[in-house]
Amino acid sequence: MLGVMPLASPAQAAAALPTLSAKGAFLQDRATGAKKYGKAADIKRQMASTTKVMTAAVVLNTPGVDLSRKVTISQAYRDYVTAQGASTADLRTGDKATVRQLLHALMLPSGCDAAYALADTFGVGSTRAARTKQFIGQMNAKAASLGMTNTKFDSFDGISAAGNNYSTPRDLAQLASYAMRGSTLRGIMSTTKYVAPMTTSTGGTRTYTWYNTNQLLGSYSGAVGIKTGTGTAAGPCLIFAATRGDKTYVGVILNGTDRYNDAAKLLDHYYGSSTASTMKLRTLPQGAQRD
């Protein structure tokens, strides 16, 4: 007798989940919060400059925040970046930046000088150290309110001497979904290039041009954010989001040597597309920050 092979079920016929370089990853449906994919989703890892998503969220969560408020750049912010060898927006001492400009400087070139300026401005205290410490306290309070139970911040920018600045892919996806709610932050983190004229200490004008370090933007169809991060302990990290039609996914890659392809492959799997196989990353101009 000839055997008859049963037809494959829809589940069996579905494409296999992609193999990722990341040590930790997560993807969820932004509208429902439903988990679509997880890899070591609740393992705590350092998150490098993806920390700055929370920095921006805390600033924008400040009651009555004035995005046009002017902040004078302190030499201390430049000294900090130099001492840490950190990514920078190259903010010049004495220049007057608006809060909106500082948020772009934070999120596009991943400026640790901008992070310091924002923490110093929106923290409460009589000294710079007290203000930045209190601001980090605000970051932790916001994480708790979002249910990020496996997250701790000890830094306003992701640079952590003690290594006590960590999160998980699942927690960072929660943060990403929250960040997508506000139109201001959503607009900033989807911007690939931003030009910021500032008044200098002598009354002149200096114009800054910043490029978004997130190369998924402009490379993957539908990509709308969110933030890169790279550190010795953290490895390459990426919080990402994409919208196609009425479907938005937010995801996280922690310590992924091929983070952009990891993100594209995950998104492809759930969008039913093959963009990753032909994706060419948007190139950053020479001299632009990498993160």
Catalytic (active site) residue 110: yes
Which residues, at least 6 apart from 224, have a Cβ–Cβ distance to it below 8 Å?
Answer: 186, 189, 190, 217, 241, 242, 243, 248
**Candidate list 36, 39, 110, 227, residue with the active-site label:** 110
In the block, tokens 């046009």 appear at: 68
Catalytic (active site) residue 49: yes
**Candidate list 36, 39, 52, 227, residue with the active-site label:** 52
Q: Coil, strand, or helix at residue 239?
A: strand
- Name the residue among 185, 210, 219, 267 with its Cα closest to residue 17: 267
**The three-state (H, E, C) secondary structure of 117-142, written as one string:** HHHHHHCCCCCHHHHHHHHHHHHHHH
Please list the alpha-helical segments (H only) found in the chain: 10-13, 52-61, 75-84, 99-107, 112-122, 128-145, 169-179, 183-189, 259-271
**Candidate list 39, 49, 167, 265, residue with the active-site label:** 49
Q: Active-site residue numbers?
A: 49, 52, 110
